[in-house]
Amino acid sequence: MKRNDLLLAVFVMAIWGFNFSMIKMGVTNVHPLLATAARFSLAVIPVIFFVARPNVAWRYLVSYGFVFGVGIWGMASWSITAGLSSGLSSVLLSTNVLIGMAVGVWVFKESASIRKLLGAMLAMCALAVLVSAATGNVTVNGVILIMIAACS
């Protein structure tokens, strides 16, 4: 990996972690779904003046916005309110990769190599160890909500 690519990857990870810390600060005073709605409203207002609407039916555009806004970020914010730490929430949200792989294999009958399956099993074991080793930062409701976000 080139040095610039590595620096960019570290920068993206830092922003990702900072994002969840800011979510935690925001949802301590405001309902998580209201905070998410405000966040997305403030993000979309400038964008609508510079980016053309995609050439898709409104139902797809609204559905995508609902699943992305409420399904992913609303549930992620709510999981933090439900007692899941912001760091653990950001790590568990990345299980969407494993869920996507499982959907591809079981629903769409795609083939997965032994290396990919072993990697997925190793990742699931690591996540299980992480969740079981966390003390006081994990609630059942928080894990359920972040898993809903990961499925979205």
Q: Per-residue pLDDT tens for 92-146?
A: 998 999 999 999 999 999 999 999 999 999 999 999 898 888 877 788 999 999 9
Local structure of residue 56 (DSSP, 8 states): S
Give how many domains the chain has, as a whole number: 1
Question: Per-residue pLDDT averaged across 41-54, rounded?
Answer: 88
Question: Per-residue pLDDT averaged across 40-60, rounded?
Answer: 90
Query: The domain containing residue 58 runs over which residues?
Result: 3-151
pLDDT value, residue 16 = 78
pLDDT value, residue 4 = 93
- Closest CA relative to residue 66, chosen from 89, 92, 40, 97: 40
Mapped onto helix, strand or coil, the DSSP state of residue 135 is coil
pLDDT value, residue 78 = 94
Q: Using CB atoms within 10 Å of the CB of residue 96, give its burial: 0 to 12 exposed, 13 to 18 middle, 19+ buried.
A: middle
pLDDT band at 150 (very low <50, low <70, confident <90, very high): very high
